């Protein structure tokens, strides 16, 4: 397993930006919840994919650690403690490169990463927010905005209780 | 590792359909190329995501086996023999369930699976088609159409040679 330091450095290198490094931001945990980037989350298995139009205008993959994947596949709700869901979002953009090959303009692909969000299940630690802790990271750095992080649960809590506050459905 | 028989049965069960079983189709390899469903491809890591509008109207995840993922991450072209790329496509559909929670209608998600395609790199076996073999599967059964499978390479070959006939770019 990679160390957290290595992971953070790798994330910056992979994301191809030094903005986080030069801005002096060092926050590695989300406000309120203290969620950090899980080690090797990019190796996790796929839960599903989605496109959010409107203000987000992104295309996204949802990955899960072993506990989350097992729960999705077996339909276990609520999710057991230790489940972590990662949502990786990218700029939603048309692909002229693909479209010139296809019979018609039709191809939309993932551009640069926008942010990564994590949902961490800990029914005791996060008892006040349905058992889930939230974190959002840009360029490997935790977004420090408390209003932003509060908006996560404010939206997830509107879901039907049978979903355990999770939007994603597993895609076979 | 699961046996091929177990995998085929699992695929049918997971996809929630008995159409293939009742239609008498037993083809487990693509025409021309003889590509079969790789064992445990659903456990593979993510390469990227995309949306194809138009006739396909799907949202898709692209996964890779270990050899493919390593080549994508390191920028190795052409891909080494043994690389396999899996393209999992799902019906592209809006989500009223999500939209009633979000501030505006914006959410598009993966519906039922449409088909799964595999690109298998074997520079000797598939020398006539750029080193890649192709297969498309619906409900775990190889699509038997020769015109369909011929259309794969006919389209991929139009790509710039530096891409080694592969559309997808790796998303970090």
Task: Delimit the domains of chain A by residue range.
Answer: 4-163
- Cα–Cα separations (whole angstroms), residue A95 to A32, A109, B120: 39, 6, 24
Q: How distant is the Cα of A151 from the closest Cα of chain B, in angstroms?
A: 11
Q: What residues of chain A lie within 8 A of the CB of B108, using their CB?
A: 50-53
- Cα–Cα separations (whole angstroms), residue B36 to B5, B43, B131, B139, B161: 12, 16, 16, 13, 26
Q: How distant is the Cα of B33 from the closest Cα of chain A, in angstroms?
A: 22
Report whether the peptide linkage leading into residue B78 is cis, meaning its omega lies within 30 degrees of zero.
Answer: yes
Say which DSSP state B143 is in.
-
Q: Which residues contact A51 (CB under 8 A, 6 or more apart)?
A: A58, A59, A60, A92, A108, B51, B59, B92, B107, B108, B109
Q: What residue ranges of chain B have pLDDT lower than 70?
A: 1-27
Contact B43 A45 (CB under 8 A): yes
What is the pLDDT at residue A13? 38
Say which DSSP state B37 is in.
P
| CA distance linking residue B20 with residue B139, whole number of Å | 6
**Pick from A96, A127, A121, A129: which is nearest to A111 by CA?**
A96
Chain A residues with CB within 8 Å of chain B CB: 14-16, 42-46, 48-56, 59-61, 63, 88, 90, 92, 95, 98, 101-110, 113, 155, 158-159, 167, 169, 171-172
Among chain B residues, CA nearest to A54: B106
Q: Which residues contact A2 (CB under 8 A, 6 or more apart)?
A: A10, A39, A40
Of A16, A90, A106, which has the smallest distance from its Cβ to B53's Cβ?
A: A106
What is the pLDDT at residue B168? 98
Could you tell me which CATH number the domain at B4-163 has?
3.50.70.20
| CA distance linking residue B122 with residue B131, whole number of Å | 5
Q: Can you point out the beta strands (E) in chain B?
A: 45-52, 58-64, 84-94, 107-121, 132-138, 141-142
Split chain A (172 residues) into runs of 10 and give each run's mean pLDDT.
43 40 62 96 98 96 98 98 98 95 90 98 98 97 96 93 95 98
pLDDT in tens, B92-120: 999 999 999 887 889 999 999 999 999 99
Per the DSSP assignment, residues forming a β-bridge with B93 are: B109
- B32: buried, middle or exposed (CB in 10 Å: 19+, 13-18, 0-12)? middle
Q: Which residues contact B172 (CB under 8 A, 6 or more apart)?
A: A14, A15, A16, A42, A113
Contact A50 B109 (CB under 8 A): yes
Q: What residues of chain B lie within 8 A of the CB of A16, using their CB?
A: 172
Q: How distant is the Cα of B46 from the closest Cα of chain A, in angstroms?
A: 7
Of B45, B49, B107, which has the smallest distance from its Cβ to A49's Cβ?
A: B49
Give me A87's structure tokens: 């949502």
Contact B54 A169 (CB under 8 A): no
Say which DSSP state B159 is in.
S
Q: Which residues contact A127 (CB under 8 A, 6 or more apart)?
A: none
Q: What residues of chain A lie within 8 A of the CB of B166, using their CB?
A: none
Contact A53 B106 (CB under 8 A): yes
Report whether the peptide linkage leading into residue A78 is cis, meaning its omega lies within 30 degrees of zero.
Answer: yes
Contact B46 A63 (CB under 8 A): yes
Contact A110 B43 (CB under 8 A): no
Q: How distant is the Cα of B63 from the closest Cα of chain A, in angstroms?
A: 9
Q: Which residues contact B158 (CB under 8 A, 6 or more apart)?
A: A101
Contact B51 A51 (CB under 8 A): yes
Contact A171 B90 (CB under 8 A): yes
| CA distance linking residue A160 with residue A162, whole number of Å | 5
């Amino acid at each position: 397993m990679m160390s957290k330091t290595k992971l953070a450095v790798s994330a910056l290198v992979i994301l191809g930006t030094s903005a986080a490094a030069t801005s002096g931001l060092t926050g590695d945990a989300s406000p309120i919840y203290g969620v950090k980037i899980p080690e090797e989350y990019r190796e996790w298995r796929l839960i599903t994919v989605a496109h959010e139009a409107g203000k987000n205008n992104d295309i996204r993959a949802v990955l899960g650690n072993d506990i989350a994947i097992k729960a999705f596949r077996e339909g276990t709700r609520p999710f057991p403690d230790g489940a972590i869901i990662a949502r990786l979002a990218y700029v939603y953009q048309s692909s002229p490169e693909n479209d010139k090959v296809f019979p018609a303009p039709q191809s939309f692909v993932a551009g640069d990463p926008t942010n990564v969000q994590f949902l961490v299940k800990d029914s005791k630690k996060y008892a006040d927010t349905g058992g889930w802790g939230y974190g959002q990271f840009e360029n490997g750095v935790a977004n420090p905005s408390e209003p932003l992080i509060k908006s996560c649960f404010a939206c997830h809590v509107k879901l039907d209780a049978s979903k355990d506050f999770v939007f994603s459905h597993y895609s076979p």
